[in-house]
């Protein structure tokens, strides 16, 4: 596709529910990143993939957060047993190759946990 596509655009979950957020990167992009952005803050790194390999998950806040990219293209970020502090915008980004190339972001998924 022309850009990074994320769905859903908005998600409201009741505390304790599980959610799954989808990211479709730019075709041919090897690297895929997930970031979390709280209101008024800059994006904070969660995890990243090179093709299907998850190379760094040091930013995932807890073991309730899980990300996968099984075929090296589409990625899913799953949050189990959501809590209010999980409310944020979740941004997906992709880049053409590892080792430094411009990062391109999707529009994000705004998650609200009530």
Q: Which residues bind other proteins (CB under 8 A)?
A: 31, 33, 42-45, 48, 50, 55-56, 58-59, 89, 91, 93, 95, 98-105, 107-108, 110
Sign of CA dihedral 11, 58, 38, 30: negative
Instruction: In angstroms, give the least distance from the CB of 14 to other proteins.
Output: 24
Residues in the chain: 114
- Cβ atoms of 91 and 43 within 8 Å: the answer is yes
Q: What are 59's two structure tokens?
A: 């930013």
Instruction: In angstroms, give the least distance from the CB of 11 to other proteins.
Output: 15
Instruction: In angstroms, give the least distance from the CB of 63 to other proteins.
Output: 20
- Cβ atoms of 31 and 43 within 8 Å: the answer is no
* Residue whose CB is less far from other proteins, 38 or 81: 38
């Amino acid at each position: 596709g022309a850009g990074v596509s994320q769905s859903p655009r908005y998600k409201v979950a009741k505390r304790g529910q599980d959610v799954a957020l989808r990211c479709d990167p730019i075709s041919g992009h090897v690297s895929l990143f997930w970031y979390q952005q709280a209101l008024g803050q800059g994006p904070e790194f969660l995890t990243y993939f090179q093709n299907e390999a998850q190379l760094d998950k040091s930013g995932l806040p807890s073991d309730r957060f899980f990300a996968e990219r099984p075929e090296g293209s589409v990625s899913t970020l799953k949050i189990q047993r959501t809590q209010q502090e999980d409310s944020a915008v979740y941004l997906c980004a992709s880049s053409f190759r590892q080792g430094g190339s411009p990062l391109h972001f999707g529009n994000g998924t705004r998650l609200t946990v009530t």
